[in-house]
A and B are shown apart, each in its own frame.
Chain A
Amino acid sequence: MTSADSHETRQVMIRLEKLTKHYPGQQRNAVDGLDLDINEGEIVVLVGPSGCGKTTTMKMINRIIEPTSGRIILNGEDVTRTDADQLRRRIGYVIQQTGLFPHMTIGENVATVPKLLGWDKSRTDARVDELLNMVNMDPEIFRHRYPKQLSGGQQQRIGVARALGGDPTVLLMDEPFGAIDPITRDRLQNEFLRVQSEVRKTIVFVTHDIDEAIKMGDRIAIFKEGSQLAQYDTPEQILTAPADDFVAEFIGRGASLKRLNLSYVGDIDPRPWPTVSVSTSIAEARETLRNAAESALIVVDEAGRPHSWVSPEELNRAGEGSSLKEIGQTPRAIVEPRATLSDALNELIAARYAVTLVVDDTGKLQGVVDIEQINDSIRSMRASAVTEARASLGGEP
């Protein structure tokens, strides 16, 4: 079964029918007769050049912008003319500037929609704690803080937690990670994908960054000017078979490298590597390394987390009385299973021993990934993409 088939069998959560927005005083429609189906539980990314109408399209779904014509069907119900405030309580909303309420604590911010929905205090409090934990913010530490006491990345996490407050079925996100430095953005993206794997919301995600679109999207809608859909498909298909020159140009060069963003470290089996515990004696460590094919050892702490790399030179230099705790080099190239192969490759290029350490969610060492494994993965991806493209050719009448 191809991914396209599986989408058709899923239930449509948001249906846009001939959706049109004309701003007064503008010559052309900002959004012009857009038809778009978004399935339950998927992340659809709207992407396209600046001014093509992504934000306008998204904001019509919760009627922050009222459509000029057309219909919005939410879970089978026409919501084009229903009470907008009621509608918005069912739809989470995250914006780039976060828009946290500065005079309210983090806890009060996250409790906004539960309070509007009239939940009692204990249910609201429990929900706030649950959401703060979900976005990796310890409730004990952050519940009573104010937004200004948080970093930009933390504020954006709270923005997401607040949007999930009333357990909406749909989440709208307008460039949520747009104003954040690349490293933090990457972490937030990974974290958000982890959250999504738990909550399974239907998500409309706006960005103008094709790499972000490829990473976040189950399906990507590439817009041209005036919200004309250039292509609406899975990231794999868009990268393999761009619908036209516009899409190909928009993806830019390096489509194969971009495909690395579509596979995760968790999809490949990490290779084992000789490992010793910090409590091991220097002599034993030398013995282990002598019997290994590799040129260095990974030292792990009591909890199994990577502590350091030790080389033969370092082991030889160390006196008999010294401990593995004190020698060696802190490992830098470490990734989690949710990291993409692109992340792993990046780390690997800069790494000392041409491998990236893979750790699980608790930080425990799982093994290593090397360039050979990444290469294999690229080859198999290309093969399956070609098969799929062939199949879609053959399927046409």
Chain B
Amino acid sequence: MLKGGYMGKILRVNLTNQTYTEESTTEELARNFIGGAGFGIRFLFDEVPAGTDALGPNNKLIFAPGPLTGTSAPCASRMAVVAKSPLTGAVGMCTTGGYFPAELKFAGYDALIIEGKAERPLYLWINDGKVSFRRADKLWGTNTFDCQQLIKDELGDQNIRIACIGPAGELQSKIASIINERRAAGRKGLGAVMGAKNLKAIAVRGHKTVPVASENDYKQARSRMLKTMKESPVLYPAFANTGTPMVVEATWGLGIFPTRNWSATGEWDPVDKLGIKANDSRKIGKEHCYNCPVACSQLKLAREGIYTGSLSVPEFETIYAFGGQTGVGNLDSIIAADRLCDEMGMDSISTGVAIGFAMELYEKGIITKDDTDGVELNFGNHEAMFKLVSKIGYRQGFGALLADGVKDAAAKIGKNAEKYAMHVKGLELPGYDVRGAKAHGLNYATSYTGADHNRGYAFQEIFGIPEPETVDRFAYEGKGRLTKWNQDIRTATCDCPTMCAFLLDMAFPANAALNCADMLSSLTGLNFTPAEIEKIGERVNNLARAFNVREGFTRKDDNLPERILTEPLKEGGSKGQYISRAELDKMLDEYYYERGWTAEGIPTKQKLLDLGLENAAEELEKMGA
């Protein structure tokens, strides 16, 4: 019997039959996987066999907050959303924040597993342990903000929290996201999985309290955590007042703010147009996730031209995707494009990268006005960029070609377009030009979700933080060890418990596992040591890798786009840098060695057994991997 942190139940919903069952959250599961991504990946591995159609009824969509979620812990209202990704074919795992994750706990659940496919559009209403299937015919076609409001009105409670899809998810675009409030489980096409199941939304309301094993100890652990947060030199006031847009300036200075589909990184100065002051001048307020004292989300109002009045929270990644990547120096158009992405339910990174990709093809003459519906799609053309966003969302004209991401688009276009497609395993690259930040490069190459900065962010390279060791961002030696450390610590201390990853680099770079063990032990009564916490990170990463291996991924998929491997940066703070094929190979060799995997990147039987992953070991052995 679990004493605290867990609600004790996992809700399993079958959309085909419109039935649901409740299962117990076991101590074995809690102890070995904590929650969040750990739970999600464990269910995915056990229940979604190799070769499952990601957009078919047999894929599962899992929502999993963690034990800290919904408690008095700061910054813990996060949840993992997990499915096989239609974009990559690998594990699709995103985390999202806001209020929905805490509400799911209050409704009584540690996880929600969605199976099957509804015959016609519906939404799920989870009300304090009662589940109903409600018709969504009238909601189908609405944008994500209207959808949330319409459901609240229909159910007569404005405090209901809703995760839903927009038109992009309904149309099963592989870059579709799931939106709750103004937050997104943005990447890897999880919105398409939901759309393919004919599930428009999940509405949740609950009034239960998350139990705490040892109230007094938890209070003290929480005080220690808050104290460390207060001591951070960045969290307050800089990050709380500015949020992620400050990274625009840092990456510019380091020469790694990707520009014009990564063809001109270091050659453009975005500081005046897209930097902190420009962002501050559009700021009208702040938003925060449940029980977060930081409130990093900066609400911005577009103030000029056709974008005037558009409201959104563009994070650094969005400013990169619609700004640097497309060469657009118009912040108002970026705010408006971000807003559209949220309304359509689509990933702003993948959308912006796809547009920048198309712009380069247009400038190189690989595509022409005949392909782009008559639009002059040059870099820097903010109106063209903005208009293309809704065309992608509705899969109209040229937009339809980009709606499944750059890998698919390049394959359809042919003419060697893949050369300009910036992705790994099908997932578009986030906003750090890895040629000047090599651990980022190795992380993009090896992350179990594809090019994902969130699965092993190398904060050492960007912010100069010397934990666990000092790091020269241009060197490739040591990056295998560092990448393993970053991936495991992030999984263990952020993606599973769950906790906002911003705290990892800003408050806990040196003692994340200790803080996590401290919080989880007093909350759950399970007595986690820091070493056990770190091992859980390793376990989850290995299980995710085993899922991908079972799907046929090998070393050759741990790759980087050709441009990264062949074109040195021409200007700026990382001038001359690139990652040669030989360097990438050496980094991969080191990484696999550190992970205890074979030279082909397959987890060894011994490694899987050491981590208690017997069935993964068995399955890989069966397939002769």
Whether chains A and B associate is: no
Residues of chain A having any CB pair with chain B under 8 Å: none
Residues of chain B having any CB pair with chain A under 8 Å: none
